[in-house]
Structures are given as C-alpha cells and as structure tokens.
Structure 1
C-alpha cells in the first residue's frame, strides 16, 4: 500500500511538472503569435504604402511609356 502511494506521488509530481512546462510553453507561443501578427500587420501596411507610391509614379509617366 505504501509503495502504491509513493508511486502515485511520483506520477502526480511528474504530471504537475509537465503541466507547468506546458503552461510556460503556451505562454511563449502566445507571445510569439502576437509578435508574428504585429509583423504581418506592419508588412501589409508597408505593401499598401509601396503600392500607392508605385501607382503615383505610374500615373506621372508620360502617355505611351507603359
């Protein structure tokens, strides 16, 4: 009986340790996701700005150049 309790305590300790590890990993992944979403938003804004600048340059070209 005592050996069973010791085994159960060890397994419970392992489970708690794994749970803590997974929580920490989950937090890191959430932070990475936020950074990636911010980067993606910035890249989309940069593409939009570049597109507008390119369109403005195209409109300034003389007729028949394109």
Structure 2
C-alpha cells in the first residue's frame, strides 16, 4: 500500500477537525441549556428567599415590646 499523499493527509485532518467542531458545537449547546436552567433555578430561589424575608419581617413587626430600631438591628 502506498504512503498517503500530503493532500490525503490534509483531507483526513480536515475531516477530523470538522467532526471535532461538530462535537464541540453539540457540547456547547448542551452547556448553554444547562446555564439557562441554572439561571432560572437561581432566579426562583432568589424570589423564594425574598418572599421568606418579607414574611419574617412581617412577623418581627408583630412581636410585642420591640421597637422599630431594635428590630432593624436584628436584621
């Protein structure tokens, strides 16, 4: 069998590079999806945290015997 010509070697290398490029594009698309999902989860958790803080603040306001300044110092 004859040794591959430089053109054949270049062709093989280009084909491997194209396959690798396609693989990286698929991987990147999956990572972008994961980032979007994690951002949505983060936003949901931040929203829940803010709601919980509001409920706690409302409960603190209802505590007897604590002035507004004392309640602010606790937060």
Q: Same fold (TM over 0.5)?
A: yes
Structure 2 unaligned residues grouped into runs of 5+: none
2:48 to 43, 46, 49: 46
2:24 to 17, 22, 29: 22
Structure 1 unaligned residues grouped into runs of 5+: none
The 4+ residue runs of structure 1 with deviation greater than 6 A are none
What SS does the corresponding residue of 1:62 show, helix, strand or coil? coil
Partners of 1:59 and 1:45 lie apart in 2 by: 21
Could you state the TM-score of these two structures normalised by the residue count of structure 1? 0.89
In terms of fraction of residues, the more helix-rich structure is 1
User: Per-residue displacement from partner, 1:22-61 (whole Å, max 9, x unpaired)?
Assistant: 1001101110110011011001101100000000110111
- The match for 2:12 is 10
Could you state the TM-score of these two structures normalised by the residue count of structure 2? 0.79
Partners of 1:20 and 1:29 lie apart in 2 by: 14
Cα RMSD of the aligned pairs, angstroms, is 1.6
